[in-house]
Each structure stands twice: as C-alpha cells, then as structure tokens.
Chain A
Amino acid sequence: DVKVTQSSRYLVKRTGEKVFLECVQDMDHENMFWYRQDPGLGLRLIYFSYDVKMKEKGDIPEGYSVSREKKERFSLILESASTNQTSMYLCASSEGSATNEKLFFGSGTQLSVL
C-alpha cells in the first residue's frame, strides 16, 4: 500500500515565523502535491511537482514556496506565517501515468498560526 507521511499532525506557530511542512512518499511516485482544506472551500491546490527540482504553481501559491530535492520528499514552506494560513494542509502523490491518476493523500497537518 502506498504510504504518504506528513511529519506533523498538529502544529502551532506564531505570526511571522518560517514554517516547514514535510511530506514523504514511499512508492516512487513522479507527482506530488500540496493542498489546503478549509470548510466550505474544498481542497485548493497550492503547488505541485512532477519531477525532482520541478515545481508549478497551483491556484493559491501566494505566501508559499516548495522544495523537492529528492523524489520521495516534497516540502511546503511558509516564509512568514500569517493568521490566514491557519488551515489543514494535505500532501498527496500520484504515479504520473496517463492511465493511473489516483491521488494518495497524507493524513494532513492542522496548522494554527497565532
């Protein structure tokens, strides 16, 4: 079974702090994604990566950056955390083939910015 592991389940940070959210997958997937989930807004794509060192902006990239130095690891960085970034963050990965596009999600990180 594919395992997508997010480093923290709950995180509390202060406004202005630099925050790192880590995600690791163990199935050699090409694609990795960061979503945030807010009530009534669904899942919104922040950034995704289709290869090592490659990244593309999603729908809401402002205030975030990402890093993918190794295939299995995709990091989300909040350069200067703000209260409106309080949210549930979900990492996901997929095989990247045209016939198998299933997303495997991590269990999420609930980030609170005070």
Chain B
Amino acid sequence: GENVEQHPSTLSVQEGDSAVIKCTYSDSASNYFPWYKQELGKRPQLIIDIRSNVGEKKDQRIAVTLNKTAKHFSLHITETQPEDSAVYFCAARRGGGNKLTFGTGTQLKVEL
C-alpha cells in the first residue's frame, strides 16, 4: 500500500519567515495530494490540495509543489504569522480509490 513520509516533525520559524514542509510517497499511481492543518484542540481542515496533472498551486501565502518523477510534494508558507502555528499533515491518494494515507505530521511554531 501507499506510504507517506513527512519531514520535519517539528519546525520553528520567526514571524515573517518562510516555512517548508516536505513529503514523499511510495505509490506511483497516487494522483491526489491534500494538506490539512490542525490547530491545537481542533479538527483537521483542508488548506490546499494538488492533483498529479499540475506541478504547482498557490493560494495567497500558501503554495504546494509536486514532483511526480521524484514522488515528493512540498508545502510552502510565506510571510508566516502566529496563526500559522499548528500541526500540518500531508496525504496521498491512489487514483480511483477513496483511501487517503496521511503523513505523520509537522508541528509548526511561528515565534514572535
């Protein structure tokens, strides 16, 4: 089955800096890659996703890049703010299926 590895497990940045979280996946048939954000004590929420026919997608300060050849994808957050502090999960889904496999999460801390 699919295996998703996520790095780093913790990331601390200064407010205004950029943050990058990286994930690799094992199944070359995976074609959907979402990112979820979970604030402390709250439920995970989708922040951005990308499909395998696209190399990059942006939404304001958030962007995701996908390298199908290398089987890795990354989340980029620019101009970080304290409210970006949360746990971020990447995930991958094999084409034609319903099953999402999540990474182990990255605890992002944005310091003032």
Contact = CB atoms under 8 A, between A and B. Distances in A.
A96 B102 contact: no
Interface size for chain A: under 10, 10 to 19, 20 to 34, or 35 or more residues? 20 to 34
Interface stretch (A65-73, A74-82, A105-113): A105-113
A105 B46 CA distance: 10
Contacts of B6: 42
Interface in B21-58: 32, 34, 36, 42-46, 49
Interface string A19-63: 000000000000101010000111111001010000010110000
Given A40-B104, A41-B104, A101 B99 contact: no
Interface string B82-112: 0000000101010000111111110000000
B103 A58 contact: no
B9 A43 contact: no
B89 A105 contact: no
A36 to B, nearest CB: 11
B93 A101 contact: yes
A42 B49 contact: no
Contacts of A108: 43
Given A90-B44, A103-B36, A103-B46, A42 B89 contact: yes
Given A40-B9, A101-B32, A101-B93, A107 B43 contact: yes
Nearest to B91: A43
